[in-house]
Amino acid sequence: DTAVSQTPKYLVTQMGNDKSIKCEQNLGHDTMYWYKQDSKKFLKIMFSYNNKELIINETVPNRFSPKSPDKAHLNLHINSLELGDSAVYFCASSLTGTTDTQYFGPGTRLTVL
Amino acid sequence: SQQGEEDPQALSIQEGENATMNCSYKTSINNLQWYRQNSGRGLVHLILIRSNEREKHSGRLRVTLDTSKKSSSLLITASRAADTASYFCATDKGFGNEKLTFGTGTRLTIIP
B67 touches chain A (CB under 8 A): no
Reply yes or no on whether the pLDDT at B94 is more than 80: no
How far apart CA A43 and CA A45 sit, in angstroms, is 7
| A chain contacts of residue B40, beta-carbon cutoff 8 Å | 107
Contact state of A41 with B104 under an 8 Å Cβ cutoff: yes
How much is the average pLDDT of B17-26?
95
Q: What is the model's pLDDT at position A51?
A: 87
**pLDDT(B22) > 90:** yes
Q: Which residues of A touch B100 (CB under 8 A)?
A: 45, 98, 102
CA geometry: angle B39, A109, A87, nearest 5 deg: 95
B13: closest CA of chain A, how far (Å): 21
Residues B18-24 have a mean pLDDT of 96
| Nearest CA among A49, A38, A42, A47 for reference residue A78 | A47
Give the model's pLDDT for residue B55: 98
Q: What is the mean pLDDT of chain B?
A: 92
| Cβ–Cβ < 8 Å for A27, A5 | no
| Averaged pLDDT of chain A | 93
- Under a CB-based contact definition with an 8 Å cutoff, are residues A85 and A112 in contact? yes
Q: Which residue has the higher pLDDT, A10 or A60?
A: A10
pLDDT at res. B16: 97
B19: alpha, beta or left? (left if phi > 0; alpha if psi -120 to 50): beta
Q: Predicted confidence band at B1 (pLDDT cuts at 50, 70, 90)?
A: very low
The predicted structure's pLDDT at residue B7: 85
Measure in Å the smallest separation between the Cα of B38 and chain A Cα atoms. Answer: 10
Taking the CA atoms of chain B, what radius of gyration do you get in angstroms?
Answer: 13
CA-closest candidate to residue A58, choices A26, A32, A81, A35: A35
Three-class HEC string of B66-91:
ECCCCEEEEEECCCCHHHCEEEEEEE
Closest CA to B27 of B105, B110, B77, B94: B94
pLDDT in tens, A25-75: 999 999 999 999 999 889 999 999 988 888 888 878 999 999 999 999 999
10 Å Cβ neighbour count for B43?
28
Once rounded to an integer, what is the mean pLDDT over residues B89-105? 82
Residue B26 pLDDT > 50: yes
Q: What is the pLDDT of residue A87?
A: 96
Flag whether pLDDT at B3 surpasses 90: no
Q: Partners of A87 in the beta sheet?
A: A110
What DSSP line would sit under A39-98, residue for residue?
TT--EEEEEEEETTEEEEE-S--TTEEEEEEETTEEEEEE-S--GGG-EEEEEEEESSST
Cis peptide before B8 (omega within 30 of 0): yes
